[in-house]
Amino acid sequence: MTSTDLIDTTILPERLTIIGGGYLGMEFASIYRRFGSQVTVVEAAPKVFGPVDDDVAAVAEGILVDEGIEIVTGAHTTEVRDGESSATVVYEKDGRQHTVEADAVLAATGRAPVIGDLGLEAAGVRTTERGAVEVDEHLRTSQPHIFALGDVNGGPEFTYVSLDDSRIVLDQLLGEGKRSTDDRVAIPHTVFITPPLASVGLTEKQARAAGHQVRIASQPVAEIVAMPRAYIVEDTRGMMKFVLDAETDEILGAALLSVDAQEMINTVALAMRHGIRAAELRNAVYTHPTSTEAFNDALATIVRSDI
């Protein structure tokens, strides 16, 4: 079933197998394990949480494993056999065939734009090799009077990006016509597991590959004294990691795995967009007791530096 099918189902599956360990797959794994399902995730990539650095991904995966979720990486699903009351998922890993029994199977391997019935060819609207509507930075298609917004245009599949798409088109139709996708800088992302994993900008690996000399501020949440909110809600799992330019103190990227990470990452992203340096974020005064106070501690701990 799809995620929509699973949400609409009123019977909790005792055994849920999820094919795909991307954002949606890991979110549903976290949700349904907390509902009480026995959850297995089968992912083809070598690791889950691929968009973040290995150290952050390992902590996030460890949290889910500790909650009882089985995560199988490097596994290629070859077949799903439907039975009378259950299904069997067949996958290959390390040259061997394995099976897992499930009461429900969630297909979370990605979605494709639904454009088959739109008659785009007849309208002269070009599509990409991946089946999305081809657009420019103003979201115009190959027909200048036609725009394509949201997931159908092949951009990032996030609700808030679709919302920004609407702003770009409205600016073309009713405004100055200057707004474009090129304006999108430091767009944050969140995987809504528990606690959430939010990230923005470059990873450490990406920053080094881009030629930056970097400083790394990284700290487990359990060691951040100035984060009372985590203790109040009794969840001190996770970590915070900031990638900083060693010469300019510019915030190049961040990964926050913690209570309220989905909110704090917006503050980091705003700072990045407006050139606010790490020292300013570190020395700012935040309300108490909140999670944002963690910036005072986490950004004061430089654990690695190129200089």
Instruction: Please identify which of the residues 76, 145, 189, 288 carries the catalytic annotation.
Output: 288
The answer to whether residue 288 is catalytic is: yes
Q: How far is CA 228 from CA 190, 242, 289, 292, in A?
A: 22, 20, 6, 10
Give CA–CA dist 283/80, Å, rounded.
Answer: 54
Over its C-alpha atoms, the chain yields an Rg (Å, rounded) of: 22
Give CA–CA dist 101/221, Å, rounded.
Answer: 36
Please say whether the beta carbons of 71 and 21 come within 8 A. yes
Q: How far is CA 88 from CA 78, 83, 105, 212, in A?
A: 11, 8, 9, 48
Please say whether the beta carbons of 85 and 288 come within 8 A. no
75: nearest Cα among 108, 101, 41, 50: 41
Give CA–CA dist 124/113, Å, rounded.
Answer: 18
Active site residues: 288
